[in-house]
Structure 1
């Protein structure tokens, strides 16, 4: 449910950002806010505490972020506080980033392998996948030795499993379902 609500806020913010040609700047500002909140548990608790008034929370946000964010992000934060939705700021950033990347023609891909990929292998993978998908890719690589070998890719909300562990699980399912 919070994802749907976050998408609405992100869409509204993205429309404003697009009109004002501030897509990148607003994404940077949102990232700065979410990083600050992620790294400060006490601040998160204060912003989500039901007995602290909205006015006090907005004053705190103004003081903390007045030089770091523009009017658009500041207004978003205050709106989230007024509507008691402070906890969805990370979801708003995620949805906003997806919209911004769509506009830029960039696709985020998470690749999981059993062994680390060097820079050359990562760029080659990004180039080949990008050509196949007709998009520019931003790849983040993680290592998980449990997949044994092969590659696991998450592109948007799709998961492509080309791992040995995935194939073994498929074989096991086929054998047990007969």
Structure 2
């Protein structure tokens, strides 16, 4: 549920950022704020505390971030506080970054293999996938021995399973169904 709400805030902020030609600057500011909140346990406690009113929380946020962020991000923070959604800033940042990356033609791809890929293999895979998809890729590489062999790709919301474990699971299902 909070993901849907975070997407709405991110979309509104992104539209303002596009109008003002400041997509990158606002992303940098969001990263700074999200990092500060996630790294500071005391700040998170204050933002979550039910007995601290919105005005006090906004005053604190103004004091902490006034010099670091622009009006757009500051207004977002104030709005989140007013709506008691202070701690969805990470989700807003994630949604905003996806929108900004889409505009930049960058696609996040998670590659999972049974054995580590060396740098050359990673670059080759990124180049081939990028050519097929017509995008620049930001690759995240993971290793999971239980996939036995092959490759598991997550591109956006889609999962492409070319692993041995996935094929074996498919065979098991076919045997159960009796195809």
TM range (shorter): over 0.9
Shift of 1:40: 2.4
Q: Any idea what SS the aligned residue of 1:112 has? A: strand
Distance in 2 (CA, whole Å) between partners of 1:118 and 1:67 is: 42
Equivalent position of 1:171 in the other structure: 171
Unaligned segments of structure 2, at least 5 residues: none
Separation of aligned partners in 1, 2:113 and 2:152: 7
User: How big is the shift at 1:101?
Assistant: 0.9
Q: Distance in 1 between matches of 2:29 and 2:144?
A: 32
Determine the structure 2 residue equivalent to 1:134.
134
Matched residues in 1 for 2:52 and 2:102: separation? Answer: 38
- Following superposition, which runs of at least 4 residues in structure 1 exceed 6 angstroms of deviation? none
Query: How many residue pairs were aligned?
Result: 178
1:145 matches 2:132: no
Corresponding residue of 1:94:
94
Structure 1 length normalisation: TM-score? Answer: 0.94
Whole-Å separation in 1 of the counterparts to 2:132 and 2:70: 38
Aligned-residue offset at 1:130: 0.7
Q: What are the residue-to-residue correspondences of 1:18-97 with 2, within 5 Å?
A: 18-97=18-97
When normalised by structure 2's length, the TM-score is: 0.93
- Going from structure 1 to structure 2, the CA distance change for 1:148 and 1:38 (only over 3 Å counts) comes to farther
Deviation at 1:81, TM superposition (A): 0.3
